[in-house]
Structure 1
Amino acid sequence: MSDPTFGISITRIDNEPRPPVWSDMSVVGIIGTAPDADASVFPADTPVFLYSDDAAKLTALGDAGTLKDALVLLNAQLGEFQVAAKVVLVRVEDGVDAAATIASVVGDGAQTGLSAFRRAGPEIGMIPRLLCAPGFTSQRTGAEANPVCAALPPICEKLLAHAVVDGPATTEQDAIDWREKISSSRLIPIDPAVKVYDNGVSVVQPASPAIIGIGVRRDHEKQGRPFHSWANQPVQGIVGPSRPISFSLTDGATEGQRLLSANIGVLLRGEMGVESAIGQGGFIFVGTDNAGEDDLWRFYNVTRGRDFIHLMLLRTLRFYLGRFNVTGQTIQAILNTMETGLRNLKADGDILGFELKFTRDQNTPEELRQGRFTVSFAAEEAPVLRYLGIQSARYRPALDALLDDLLAQVGTITG
C-alpha cells in the first residue's frame, strides 16, 4: 500500500530487545511396562502425555508393571502448591524375560523404546527433559554396561535432557562396578533403591522416580529455573532405603562418602542425636554430580542450567531470522536481547556473571554478506555448596581484654 497524498501514515518500529522465552525443564519422561494398560490410551512405543494426577489415565494404565508405581512415587515428592507433574509415558511390551524387556526399552534406535521420547515434541507438544527407566538400568552381564544406560546418552543429547539411572542396590562394590561402565554428563547415577509400603508389605522399588520428583519440586520452588541441586532433600512416600548406607559429614571413610566420590547419589537415613548425620530424621537424598568426565561440568544443576540458557537463546532469537537485515541496529538488538535474559538470571542468583561479545575476528565482510554473523557469550552458573571447611583456633586478644577489664575494676590496692 502506498502512502496517502493527504493523510496519516503509521509505521511500527520493532527494534526493541525481545523478552526472553524460557523452556519447561521439568517435563518428566518415564519408560516402562504396564501389561494391563488400555492399549487404546497407551499404545506401545508411543509417547503419551498426562498429568501425574489424572485419575482416568492412571486407571487406564493398570496396576501391573513399572509405570504405575513410578507415578505414585513421583507424586509423593511434589511440594506446596503443586497439583501434578507433567509426564510423558512410553509403554513397552513385556518380554518373555528381563533381557527381552530391556531390549524393548532400548528399542530399535529409530521409533520404538527410548526413541519414542524423540517423537514427543512433534507429536504431543511436550519434550521430556527428566528421563528415567525404573527397573531397567541396573542389570549387567559380566563386564558389559547396562544396555539402557548405554542407549540413554544419545537420546538425552538430542532432547537436551538428563536421565536419572538406578544402580544395582546390592553392595557398595557392585555400585562402583556399575558406575565404572557409564560416562555421560547427561546421566545422574543413584544407589540404592527404596522400600515402599504396598498392600501390607514392604517392597523394593527403583528410586529414580522419587529423585526426579524431587527435581520437579525443586524446579517449582525456583520458578521453573533448573539451577539448583536436589541434594539434602527429603524423600517422601517411602519406608526406607533398600539397604543402609553408612555416612558421616566429617569422615570420608564411609560407604556414603565413597559412593559420592564416585559421582553416585545416595539415599541416607537421618539420625536423631548424631551431629555428623545428614539430618535428624527421615530419609534424605544426597547427590550433586552427573556421570561425565569433565569436572568443569560436574554438577547436574550446572549442566541443566546451561541447557536452560541455550534453549532460551534458541526460542528467543529465532524471531530475528528472516525478519531483519544484517545491520548495526539488528546486531545491537540481538545483543540487548541476550543481555536481558542473562541479566535476569544473574539478578536471581542463578549465574554469577556473564559476558557478551561481538568481535571482528569472528566476523568477516564475506560472512556478513552471506547474512551470517557470530556473537559469543560466557556465563558462570552458581556451583552447589557441598563442602564447608571451618578453621578453629584459640583467640588470645580475649585474654588481653579480660586483663584490661580486671585492671580497670581492681586497679592498685594499698594498705
Structure 2
Amino acid sequence: MAALTKNHGVRFVDVGEDARTVQVPDFSTITIVATAEEANPAIFPLETTVHLYGDEAEKLAKLGDAGELSPAIDDILGEGVSPSILIRRIEKKTTRNEQLGAVIGDPSDRTGLWGLLDARAQTTVRPGLILAPGYCNDSPIGATQATITDQGSGYTAATVTFASPGAQVVPKGTAIVQGGKVVGVQIDDAGFGITGAVTMTIEGDGTGAAGTVATGPVANPVALAMSAIAKRLLAIGICDAPNLGRVEAALWAERLKRDNGRYLYAIDPAVRRFVVLDGSDDTILTRPASTTVAALFAKRDRERGGPYWSPENQTSSAIVGTARPVSYYDGEIDHEANFLINAGVNTFIEGKELFGSETLSNDTNWRFVNKVRTENAIRASLPAALRKWRGENFTAHNALMIVKTIEYFLEELVSLGVVVGYTRYFDRGLNPNANMRQGILRIELPHENTPPISDLQIGMRPYLAAFDVLASDIQQALGNLTPVTGTY
C-alpha cells in the first residue's frame, strides 16, 4: 500500500483488532480499618494498608489481642472462610469522639478510611467490602437548628460564633442579614462530639441580634465517610446499626439515606459469639455483626463465582444468637424483621439466618445490594477492557469492536442471570461532528440488573372446580355401581 512507509522486502503489519474479553476483578476482599495497640509495627505499621489471607496464622498473631482488628478477623475466620483481607491499623485514642475522627481520617492526608483510596496502588488488591467494626453505630450530637429570637437593627454585616464546652468540633454558621436585621443563621457545620448546650453570639455593626441553638443526633460520620469512599472504590461498606432497638435503628438509618447510601449495607442487632480468651475465662461476648456479614458476603461470592448475588438466606456458622431477639413469622408482615427491612436495615432471624438485601439508598432503583454490586462490577470491568482502544484511530471498525466487547460481556451476565437484559446503540445526536473530531465516542448502554426475590406473593382463593375432580374420583372408585331400587 502506498500509504504505508516504503519497504523493499517482506514484513508483517498488524491489522484489524478483535473484540476483547472483559475480566471482572475481585470484589470480595474484606477491608478493616480499626485499632490494634499491640500489633508489631514492622508488619502492621500505622496508617498503612497491609494485605494478607485468612490462613496466614503467623502473621495474624503479630496483631496482638488488644483493639478491634484481631477479634474482627477471628469473627470472619469463625464463619469457615479464609478470605483475602486488607488491614489498615489506626492509632488508639483516648475518647470516643477522637477515635471516630481517627477512623474517618483526613481525605487530604489519606489517613483512616480515606487511606483506602491508595490501597490498590499500595497492595495491588481492590477493597471490596469495607468495615469499621463498632464505629458506625452511634449518632453523634450536633447543632440541628439556629433560631433567631431577636433580629436586632442597624446591621449591614454580621458574624455568628458558636460555643460548646467539651465539643471536639464546635459548630459553625453564617448570619443572614436583610434590611438591617439578622433574619436567620445558616448552620454550615453541625459540629462533632457535642456533650452539652450550644450557644451562639452574633456580632456586627448593628446591635441586639440574638438566638438559640437546638442540638440533636446527626448522621454517623464514619458511615458517611465510608459511603463516599465506597463510591470511589466501587465497594460496599457494611455498617453496624445502634443495637438498641428497632426504632433507634430506623432513625439511625433515615439519617444516612442519601445518594451514596447505595454503597452501604446496614445490619442490626449485634451478635453473640463464644470467644476463646487468652489468660482469662472463655465466654460469650457481644460482637459487631458487620464482621459476620462480611464473611457471609465473601462466602457467597466464592461459592457462586462473583459479586452478583445477595448474601441473605445464609446461616452463620459461629454466632450463638443475636444481642436481642428479632421477631419473625413466615407468611406475616407484622414482625420486627419486616419493620427493619422497611427501614433499610438488615437483620438476623431465628438467631442465625441473614435476612435482607437492602442498601441505604434514597433511590429505590438501588435498593438491593446485589444490583449495586453487579453495577460496580460492570463499571469496574468495562473501562479496563476498553482501554485497548484508547489512542487507536477513530474508525467504524474500532467503534464496532468496542460495541462487540460490551455485547459479549453483557450477554454473559444475562446468561448468568445477573442482568435481566440490555441494549446498546450509537445515538447520532449525542455524537456530533465536533465531538467526534476531538476523538469523543459515546455508546449508550441501557441495562437492568437482576433484583432478588424480595416479596413472594401467593394468591389464595376458593377453587370450586376441585369438586369436579373429587366427583370424578368417587365415580371411578365406585366403578359400575348403580342405584338399587326395590322394597325392603
Whether these two folds match at TM > 0.5 is: yes
What residue number does 1:399 align with?
A: 467
Q: 1:93 aligns with which of 91, 94, 98?
A: 91
Aligned-pair CA distance for 1:392: 2.4
Aligned-pair CA distance for 1:89: 0.7
Aligned-pair CA distance for 1:150: 2.2
Is residue 237 of structure 1 aligned with residue 318 of structure 2?
Answer: yes
What residue number does 2:296 align with?
A: 214
What residue number does 1:123 align with?
A: 122
Aligned residue identity for 1:106: I
8 Å CA contact 1:78, 1:214 repeated in 2 = no
C-alpha change, 1:388 and 1:373, in structure 2 (3 Å) is same
Aligned-pair CA distance for 1:401: 3.6
State the superposition RMSD in angstroms: 1.8
Q: Which one has a larger percent strand, Structure 1 or Structure 2?
A: 2
Q: Provide Cα deviations, 1:111-156, integer angstroms capped at 9, x if missing partner.
A: 2111110110111111202101001111223412222112212111
Helix, strand or coil at the partner of 1:358:
coil
What residue number does 1:368 align with?
A: 436
8 Å CA contact 1:117, 1:127 repeated in 2 = no
Q: Distance in 1 between matches of 2:235 and 2:474?
A: 67
C-alpha change, 1:412 and 1:374, in structure 2 (3 Å) is same
Number of residue pairs aligned between Structure 1 and Structure 2: 396
What residue number does 2:219 align with?
A: 145
Helix, strand or coil at the partner of 1:375:
coil
C-alpha change, 1:245 and 1:320, in structure 2 (3 Å) is same
What residue number does 1:22 align with?
A: 24
Q: Distance in 1 between matches of 2:412 and 2:91?
A: 45
Q: Distance in 2 between matches of 1:77 and 1:197?
A: 13
Q: Percent identity?
A: 29
Q: Which runs of structure 2 are paired with 1:13-412 in the superposition (5 Å)?
A: 13-78=15-80, 84-110=82-108, 111-142=110-141, 143-183=217-257, 184-198=261-275, 199=277, 200-223=282-305, 225-269=306-350, 283-322=352-391, 324-404=392-472, 406=474, 409-410=479-480, 412=482
Helix, strand or coil at the partner of 1:202:
strand
Q: Provide Cα deviations, 1:211-256, integer angstroms capped at 9, x if missing partner.
A: 0111111111121x21111111111212211111111122222111
8 Å CA contact 2:107, 2:115 repeated in 1 = no
Aligned-pair CA distance for 1:49: 0.9
Q: Distance in 2 between matches of 1:248 and 1:21?
A: 42
Aligned-pair CA distance for 1:308: 0.4
Q: Name stretches of at least 5 consecutive residues in structure 2 with no aligned partner.
A: 142-216
Q: Provide Cα deviations, 1:44-101, integer angstroms capped at 9, x if missing partner.
A: 111111112211221111111100111111122345xxxx211111111111122221
Q: Distance in 2 between matches of 1:2 and 1:314?
A: 33
Q: Provide Cα deviations, 1:161-186, integer angstroms capped at 9, x if missing partner.
A: 11010011122222122112212111
Q: Name stretches of at least 5 consecutive residues in structure 1 with no aligned partner.
A: 271-282
Q: Distance in 1 between matches of 2:247 and 2:233?
A: 32
Higher mean Cα deviation, 207-216 or 405-414? 405-414
C-alpha change, 1:357 and 1:238, in structure 2 (3 Å) is same
